[in-house]
């Protein structure tokens, strides 16, 4: 970790900052375009100029990629590259930061926090909720922007200050590319300060400089969880000493300051409000009324007969009601809140329903109210609940705004039982998950066979974006395909070392068959959600690439064949995946696995495999579906990741107590060219051969005999 505080540049006048950074004029992608580069990136229209420059620079000065060493020295990176050309920038955020600071003056703020999430604490949000991307230019899914206004500068027409973006290791490379000269990057887990500590330190310094005046840190209370607010206030109490004379407060600012200035720079995206979809019993396996009674029984047993629950997470509401939506790209959810108690179920949404769903909701006694009515309704419900001496149960991911509305003292903060119920798939969901994986296995066999045939045998030129589009077009041929489960990561050579890389529509790199190609993609079928990563090579890989791939594969296989006692969490399992890389001084800067929904979000809580402390609270259970995706990333050369979707199952009764194991649901072979058979044990070879045999028998019935995909699958599933 860095022992020093990150340097932060002031954001003053436009001209001086442009000159200092070498930027002479703002980026303009097309004539009369008013969109920010951040928005263009989010809409898939941004150029890949930075990646092209980076690759060209590395080709000139890079080391021999054919070195066969497995040591940890050289260009390897546990996240991706930070060595970026800074002479040209596509983004200039100076004017929007100035406008934001003018708004901060109106609210007497020294610091303003811009989270990534929407008011439901969603990981992936709609364009209309991508406020952090608007103000910073950084488009990754995780991160927090913090902007200060220098209280010691009394020029209210041109206030200055600092701005930082905090994100995790998946996005260090991307943030370094997308942030302009106004911003500094706080690397989570590496820098000495967290974003909360940075805000408090800046506020404390300004308060001291003004003789103890209160320095106010503001945030939209809808966009930050109450749990985060409590932790933030604890940090203030623990870090701002009375002896310093400083006073720091975290305050809710109900008028979102980004929304106040957004329209001055670009057309503000509309928030979607699309038609809903009702799932049939063939896909959900448990009617709403049964889920409701199971939920109420759990609530009453733990919290008392008069308790009611507010459900705020969008995927929890969809799962409970057996409804799906399309308001957020890749996530089949819709904007809503749900309030449930013994007497009623109230759904707050503006989405159109249609006759079928109207009838369904009436039959199940679900009252529908406008989305924004939730705030007034909660106030009244809190008073009613208090008179009955009951409790309102508020999930630990509830927004600060929701807690502010429930002003009575009879609420309890809990982890939503719906989250736990949803993570355990029933027999119908498990059966459908198998079917979804076979469908995606067919599609990926067709895709990889097509790609190799075009690049190697036809010598065609295919860029990363076109390849991703081809994969989507293949998936569209499958019945019940509802869309991708996330933006396809289609990456060649050095781009594969960028963990969450996504090819731009214009100017994406041509796929080089002489380099590693990494494809991380997934589908939303009515039957279920998939998330699959394969790393392939279509010509002759280097010995180093082969050996590193095999280390990643060995970790993946070790997790898959693990047998473990009930009560085991993902924290306990994480090292199993990393052990072979660690033995050579190598690692990767992301989790090993995440929960996967059933035709729901591709990232589903509360389970996971990784090093996050919160995972210790949630042991794996039979019926969980979780990804297994170790990787390795060699900066500027290639990236490797292998991801399968695993079902948690009980081990057949045996001596020694209750144990669990994994079943690999994914139906896509590993790349034989990249496997060093000499590094495998007999157990590992048998495991791969059995897996490939199962893939062959599951997928080949859906392929035309002697077709290109048939021949590709036969070759890739042949015994080692």
pLDDT mean over 94-117? 96
pLDDT exceeds 50 at position 290:
yes
State the virtual CA torsion across 194, 196, 200, 203 in degrees, nearest 10. Answer: 110
Confidence (pTM): 0.86
Q: Say which residue the tokens 């003018």 belong to.
A: 102
pLDDT mean over 42-66? 42
Tell me the H-state helices in 325-373: 355-363
Interval 603-634: pLDDT, tens? 999 999 999 999 999 999 999 999 999 999 99
pLDDT exceeds 60 at position 15:
no
Which of 50-59, 279-288, 298-307 has the largest mean confidence? 279-288
Among 284, 544, 331, 323, CA closest to 431: 284
Q: Among the listed ranges 40-44, 108-112, 412-416, which one has the minimum average pLDDT value?
A: 40-44
pLDDT exceeds 80 at position 386:
no
pLDDT mean over 483-497? 96
- In SS3 terms, 91-153 reads as CCCHHHHHHHHHHHHHCCCCEEEECCCCCCCCCCCCHHHCHHHHHHCCCCCCCEEEEECCCCC
d(CA 32, CA 20): 27
d(CA 171, CA 582): 22
pLDDT exceeds 50 at position 355:
yes
Residue 307: the pLDDT is 83
Q: CB under 8 Å to 341, separation ≥6 — which residues?
A: 296, 307, 308, 309, 390
pLDDT exceeds 60 at position 52:
no
Buried residues in 694-716 as b, exposed as e (16+ CB within 10 A): ebbeebbebbeeeebbbebbeeb
* Cβ–Cβ under 8 Å, residues 330 and 346: no
Q: Helix 427-452 vs helix 464-475: angle between axes, to the nearest 10 degrees?
A: 130
The residues with which 630 forms a beta bridge, in sequence order, are none
pLDDT exceeds 60 at position 58:
no
* Cβ–Cβ under 8 Å, residues 546 and 677: no
DSSP 207-260: HHHTTSPEEEEEE-TTSSBHHHHHHHHHHHHHHS-GGGT-EEEEEE-SS-HHHH
* Cβ–Cβ under 8 Å, residues 356 and 278: yes
d(CA 620, CA 660): 9
Interval 186-229: pLDDT, tens? 999 899 899 999 999 999 999 999 999 999 999 999 999 999 99
pLDDT mean over 303-319? 91
Handedness of CA 177, 178, 179, 180 (dihedral sign): positive
Tokens representing 638? 């290639």
Residue 479: the pLDDT is 97
Interval 668-691: pLDDT, tens? 999 999 999 999 999 999 999 999
pLDDT exceeds 60 at position 564:
yes
Top pLDDT among 57 and 295 is at 295
pLDDT mean over 121-125? 92
d(CA 544, CA 527): 39
Interval 401-460: pLDDT, tens? 998 888 656 788 999 999 999 999 999 999 999 999 999 999 999 999 999 999 999 999
Which pairing describes strands 184-187 and 76-77: parallel, antiparallel, or unpaired? Answer: unpaired
pLDDT mean over 451-477? 97
- Please give the mean pLDDT across all residues of the chain: 87
Among 108, 225, 113, CA closest to 165: 113
What's the chain's length in residues?
720
* 637: number of Cβ within 10 Å: 24
Domains annotated for the chain, with CATH where assigned, are 14-33+91-262 (3.40.350.10), 286-420 (3.40.350.10), 429-713 (3.90.230.10)
Residue 391: the pLDDT is 82
* 683: number of Cβ within 10 Å: 11
Among 238, 227, 232, 230, CA closest to 217: 232
């Amino acid at each position: 970790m860095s022992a020093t505080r990150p340097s932060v540049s002031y954001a003053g006048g436009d001209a001086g900052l442009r000159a200092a950074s070498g930027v002479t004029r703002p980026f303009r992608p097309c004539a009369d375009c008013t969109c920010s580069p951040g928005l263009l990136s989010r809409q898939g229209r941004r150029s890949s100029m930075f990646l092209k420059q980076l690759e060209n620079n590395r080709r000139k000065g890079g080391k021999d990629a054919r070195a066969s060493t497995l040591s940890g020295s050289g260009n390897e990176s546990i996240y991706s590259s930070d060595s970026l050309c800074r002479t040209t920038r596509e983004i200039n955020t100076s004017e929007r930061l100035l406008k934001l600071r003018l708004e901060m003056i109106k609210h007497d703020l020294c610091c303003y926090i811009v989270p990534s999430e929407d008011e439901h604490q969603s990981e992936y949000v709609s364009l209309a909720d991508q406020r952090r991307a608007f103000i910073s230019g950084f488009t990754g899914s995780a991160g927090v922007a913090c902007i200060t206004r220098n209280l010691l500068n009394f020029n209210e027409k041109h206030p200055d200050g600092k701005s930082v973006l905090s994100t995790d290791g998946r996005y260090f490379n991307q943030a370094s590319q997308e942030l302009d000269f106004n911003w500094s990057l706080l690397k989570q887990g590496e820098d000495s300060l967290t974003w909360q500590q940075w805000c408090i330190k800046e506020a404390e310094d300004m308060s001291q400089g003004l003789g103890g005046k209160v320095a106010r840190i503001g945030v939209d209370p809808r966009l930050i969880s109450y749990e985060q607010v409590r932790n933030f206030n604890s940090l203030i109490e623990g870090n701002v000493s009375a002896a310093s004379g400083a006073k720091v407060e975290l305050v809710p600012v109900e008028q979102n300051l980004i929304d106040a200035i957004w329209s001055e720079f670009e057309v503000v995206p509309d928030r979607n409000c699309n038609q809903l979809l009702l799932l049939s019993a063939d896909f959900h396996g448990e009617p709403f009324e049964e889920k409701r009674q199971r939920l109420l029984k759990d609530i009453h047993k733990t919290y008392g007969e008069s308790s009611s629950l507010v459900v705020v997470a969008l995927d929890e509401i969809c799962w409970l009601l057996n409804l799906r939506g399309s308001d957020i790209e890749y996530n089949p959810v819709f904007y809503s809140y749900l309030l449930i108690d013994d007497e009623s179920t109230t759904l707050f949404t503006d989405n159109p329903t249609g006759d079928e769903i109207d009838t369904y909701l009436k039959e199940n006694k679900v009252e529908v109210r406008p989305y924004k009515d939730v705030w007034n309704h909660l106030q009244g419900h809190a008073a009613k609940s208090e008179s009955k001496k009951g409790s309102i149960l508020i999930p630990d991911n509830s927004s600060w705004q929701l807690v502010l509305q429930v002003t009575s003292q009879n609420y309890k903060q809990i982890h939503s039982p719906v989250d736990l119920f949803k993570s355990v798939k029933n027999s119908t969901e498990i059966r459908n998950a198998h079917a979804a994986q076979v469908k995606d296995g067919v599609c990926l066999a067709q895709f990889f066979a097509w790609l190799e045939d075009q690049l190697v045998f036809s010598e065609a030129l295919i860029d990363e974006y076109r390849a991703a589009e081809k994969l989507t077009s293949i998936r569209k041929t499958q019945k019940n395909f509802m869309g991708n489960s996330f933006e396809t990561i289609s990456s060649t050579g050095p781009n594969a070392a960028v963990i969450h890389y996504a090819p731009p529509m214009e100017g994406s790199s041509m796929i080089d068959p002489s380099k590693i190609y990494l494809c991380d993609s997934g589908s939303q079928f009515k039957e279920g959600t998939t998330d699959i990563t394969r790393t392939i090579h279509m010509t002759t890989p280097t010995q180093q690439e082969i050996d590193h791939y095999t280390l990643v594969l060995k970790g993946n296989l070790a997790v898959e064949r693990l047998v473990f006692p009930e009560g085991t969490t993902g924290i306990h399992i994480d090292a199993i995946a990393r052990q072979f890389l660690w033995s050579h001084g190598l690692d990767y800067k992301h989790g090993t696995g995440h929960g996967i929904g059933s035709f729901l979000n591709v990232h589903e809580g509360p389970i996971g495999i990784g090093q996050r402390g919160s995972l210790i609270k949630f042991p794996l259970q039979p019926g969980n579906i979780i990804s297994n995706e170790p990787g390795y990333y060699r900066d500027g050369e290639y990236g490797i990741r292998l991801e399968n979707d695993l079902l948690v199952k009980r081990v057949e009764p045996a001596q020694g107590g209750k144990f669990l194991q994994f079943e690999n649901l994914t139906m896509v072979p590993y790349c034989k060219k990249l496997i060093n058979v000499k590094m495998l044990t007999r157990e590992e070879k048998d495991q791969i051969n059995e897996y490939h045999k199962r893939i062959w028998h599951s997928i080949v019935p859906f392929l035309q005999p002697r077709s290109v995909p048939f021949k590709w699958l036969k070759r890739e599933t042949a015994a080692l």
